[in-house]
Amino acid sequence: MKVCKFGGTSLASAEQMQKVASIVMADPERKIVVVSAPGKRFKEDTKVTDLLISLADAALSNGDVKEALRLVVSRYEQIALELKLSSSIVSIIEDDLLSRLGTKDEGEREFIDLMKASGEDNNAKLFSFYMQSLGVNAHFVDPKDVGLVLSKEYGNAQVLPEAYENLYKELRNKDGVLIFPGFFGYTQEGTLVTFPRGGSDITGSIVAAAVQADLYENFTDVDSVFAANPNVVQNPMEIEELTYREMRELSYAGFSVFHDEALIPAFKKGVPVCIKNTNNPSARGTMVVNERNYLINPVIGIASDSGFSTIYVRKYLMNREIGFGRRLLEIIEDEGLSYEHMPSGIDDTSVILKGAQLTLEIEARIVDRIEKELDADDVHVEHDFAMVMVVGEGMKKMVGITAKATTGLARAGVNLHMINQGSSEVSMVFGVKATDADKAVRELYNDFFVATKTPVL
């Protein structure tokens, strides 16, 4: 059995849906299809999810709901028309949206999740309807009916353990092709909640793990995962195989193929993942596995992500003060902030976090509290940093990786503000100014892939 997931660009239009149907029908092992909401058809287009957020905002602010609703319905209507489907499916979708709009007074967060999830829910109904028109024994699956139970966290739901048993029992031996909407599930009380945005990948991974699939195919709009961002490095090498841990590190560091939590369910159950291209399904793609041969290429990819800020704290003899780090992090926690890295010296430390969490008021409070409560000699916040990451499980068995990376960055004139290597040694992180990030990625890619002519196997 294969579980396959198709992203928004794969389902953005009638033409794309025809491609998806052909892919599913070409392999009888593709038994469960997880779908996203229709994405962008062209660069300036608007995703259906964004249209739904605008619709929800209009309803909550008593704005022009009629026009916002028309924009959503017309996207489905155009797809249905071009696929020569009965208008009844469009009526079903419009009635569903009107029903959801009627719940706006039951709670804002619940309402927004309910509206956003309609993108995947109605697209699954539409695609199921289309598959049936082709003579395929296809069935729409409601996540509520098959027990996809999640925690009650609007926009950030987590799967509950019992969901796996429920899904196995309900899906494993069902006949036909099952069309499953991504992105959402239900609490034990029956309230709809969504995963973080991009959560259809998470749904696909959960379903694949639950039914113990032989393979989870994640179809997107690229032939494979690349060793670096193609927008930064010209014609980067394709990665044929990488591990779950490497994929998670790369996703965290800015690779847009997956949300960084998406593969955890499949990883825990040992289900292999193949990333493939809807527009070129014959391409080999990238396999994500538990283990790979690290000898040929200890480094598998170079990634970067921007938008970081650093809270710098200096205090003489800080290293001898018991509880200093804990009290510093408590101040950060009190403001509801999460941090990414915390490199330290004997008299100073830095807390690196996503800058979007900081407002001027929060920043001022944090600085004031650290100065007063920790009696720090110097506290200041710096912005506009990027984290450049070198990823590869083979690094832990190779001597000289750090020297090679830092030598290359020095040669490129990139000043390092932080170096951090995780205890797993799967990744090495360099903190640089955001303006130097692309230059750093290009130099590291050249050193680890071009200069050594290393194939990414």
Query: Residues within the annotated binding site for substrate?
Result: 49, 120
What lies within 8 Å, CB to CB, of 59 at 6+ separation is 65, 68, 101, 104, 111, 115
* Parallel/antiparallel/unpaired status of strands 273-277 and 301-314: unpaired
For residue 159, what are the β-bridge partners? 150
Cα Rg, the chain, nearest whole Å: 24
For residue 241, what are the β-bridge partners? 287
**Cα–Cα distance, 35 to 179 (Å, whole number):** 7
**Cα–Cα distance, 19 to 281 (Å, whole number):** 9
Binding residue numbers: 5-8, 49, 120, 220-221
DSSP state letter for 86:
-
Sheet with 301-314, strands from edge to edge, namely 348-354, 301-314, 378-391, 427-433, 418-421
Neighbours of 353 (CB within 10 A): 20
What lies within 8 Å, CB to CB, of 284 at 6+ separation is 223, 224, 240
Q: Which two tokens stand for residue 118?
A: 């309609």
Q: Given its phi and psi angles, is residue 74 left (phi above 0), alpha (psi -120 to 50 degrees) or beta?
A: alpha
Binding residue numbers for ATP: 5-8, 220-221
**Cα–Cα distance, 328 to 313 (Å, whole number):** 9
